[in-house]
Structure 1
Amino acid sequence: MLKMFRNLLALVLGILLGATVNMALISISPMLIAPPAGVDVTNTESLSLAIDLFEPKHFVMPFLAHALGTLVGSFVAYLIAASYKNRFAYAIGVFFLCGGIAASLMIPAPLWFITLDLWVAYLPMAWLAIWCSQRVQQQN
C-alpha cells in the first residue's frame, strides 16, 4: 500500500511542481524578454495577430519553461517513486508532451519552434532527469 501511495504521490507532485516551474517561467518571461509592442502574450488572439512580429529571442523563455518544467517534474517523480522510477519520470514527460502538443495546436508559433519544442523539451528532458536522479541517488 505504501508503494502505491508513493507512486501516486510521485505522479501528482511531479505534475504539480513541473507545472509550477513552467508557469513561473512563463509569467516572468515578458519581464526578461519584452514582447513586441502592443502584443498581449496572455491572449491567444493577440498572439495570433502578431506572431509575425516575434523573433527567435521571444521563444527562448517558452522553450525553457517547457524543458525545465518537464525536467523538474520528472526529477521529482523519479526520486519519490517507490518502484518503476523510470516509468514514472517518463510518464511526467509524456504528460507534458501532451500539453505541448495541445498548446502547439492552440497557440500559433513558427514550425521550427514547434518542432524543437516537441522533440527536445519533453522526453529528452525526462531522460535527463532520470540520468541526474540516478547520479543524486548514487551519491547518497
Structure 2
Amino acid sequence: MDGRDPCPYRILDDIGSAFAMGTIGSGAFHAFKGARAAPKGMRMAGMVAAVKNRAAVTGGAFAIWMALFSSFDCAIAGARGKEDHFNPVAAGALTGALLAIRQGPRKALQHGIAGGAVLGVFEGVGMLIEKVTTYFTQPSAPAYPSVQPGRAAAPPS
C-alpha cells in the first residue's frame, strides 16, 4: 500500500509520532485553557501549570491508542499476507473494542463499531484523495502541431 517501514519498526515509529502529536496538540489546547482559567495577573503561570500537568498525560493516551492500533494493523497484515485498506479499518475496530472492554461486552461492541467506522471514513477519504491526485498527475502526451501529408509543418510562433 505505501512504502513504510516493516512492522516492528513501524509500531515504534507510530507510537513516538502519536506521543509527539498528542503532547504538542494538547499543549496548545491546555495553554489556552490554563490562561483562560487563571486570574488576571497570573495568565502565564496558569498557562504553564496547565501544560505541565496535562500535556504529557494526553500524549501518553495518544501513544497507547497508537500502540494498540499499529500492533493490530501489523498482526492483521501478517495474518492476511497483504497490505490494503481493510487492515486499518479492522485494526481501528479492534482497538476501540479493546479499549472499552472493561465497560462490558456491549460497550466494547459499540466502541469497536465506532472505531471501525472512523477508520473507514479516514481510509475512504484517503482513497478518494489518492484517486484524485493520480488522475491529475498522470503524464499526458505532448501536443504536437498537426502535419498534413504533402505540407511542411508551420514553424512554432
**TM-score, with structure 2 as normaliser:** 0.37
**TM-score, with structure 1 as normaliser:** 0.40
More contact order relative to length (CA 8 Å, sep ≥ 6): 1
